Amino acid sequence: MIHTVNPLHFIAATQNGDEIYVNLIHSAAAEHIAQQPHILTLAKELLATHTLTGEQVDIEHDFGRIIGNCEVVETTAKDTIVYAKLLKHANYSRFVRKRLLSPSSYLSMSIYRTPDGAYEITDIWIGRIAPPFPTEEAQTPSSILYWSNHAIVLDGQPLQLRTLTKDVPY
């Protein structure tokens, strides 16, 4: 007999009773939850007070207290910047070397409605919502400006071999 694991984990029900799940194996949210498991408790606290509408919902919430560390920081001309592709990612990201993570009071998440009417968290992280990288299909007009002044703190993330460069890939 083959046992299958259900990767969907129930998080909370919203104020109007919508159920919220997260895929703990195959999602961007899973990576962030593995690094900072307490964000599930914060998500439950936050979602219980919300009513979600629409097919795609992005939430950015200020808890008014430090809840953890954000990996995206504002950069200056003095910073050492590199570009690379994260493991299992198709696009280049901007990284800063020799910087510390930044304490944050914000929790952000992307949620979509599943065909059965529930909601699934596709990504969740500590920090504010940022535009997509300029190399991503979903980039916005503010992507290049934002990501020329911000970067992910390079802190042991798994990178694809031979993608590390100092040259701007966009």
Residue 151 or residue 87, greater confidence: 151
| pLDDT, averaged across the chain | 92
Give the tens place of pLDDT for each residue, 41-51: 999 999 999 89
Q: 39-47 and 28-35 helices cross at what angle (nearest 10)?
A: 120
State yes or no: pLDDT of 3 exceeds 60.
no
Q: List alpha helices for the chain, DSSP H.
A: 28-35, 39-47, 143-147
The pLDDT, as a whole number, for residue 2 is: 60
How many Cα atoms sit within 13 Å of 139 on the Cβ side? 16
Mean pLDDT of 141-155: 94
pLDDT mean over 39-65 = 94
- Alpha carbon of residue 49 to chain centroid: 21
What pLDDT, on the 0 to 100 scale, is given for residue 134?
87
pLDDT, residue 122, reads 95
pLDDT of 153 above 60: yes
102-104 and 19-23 beta bridge pairing: unpaired
Residue 136 pLDDT: 84
- Taking only the tens place, the pLDDT of each residue in 70-122 is 999 999 999 999 999 998 888 899 999 999 999 999 999 999 999 998 999 99
Q: What is the mean pLDDT of residues 123-150?
A: 92
Query: Residue ranges of the domains in the chain?
Result: 8-153
pLDDT at 160 over 90: yes
What mean pLDDT do residues 137-146 have?
90
CA distance 122 to 26: 9
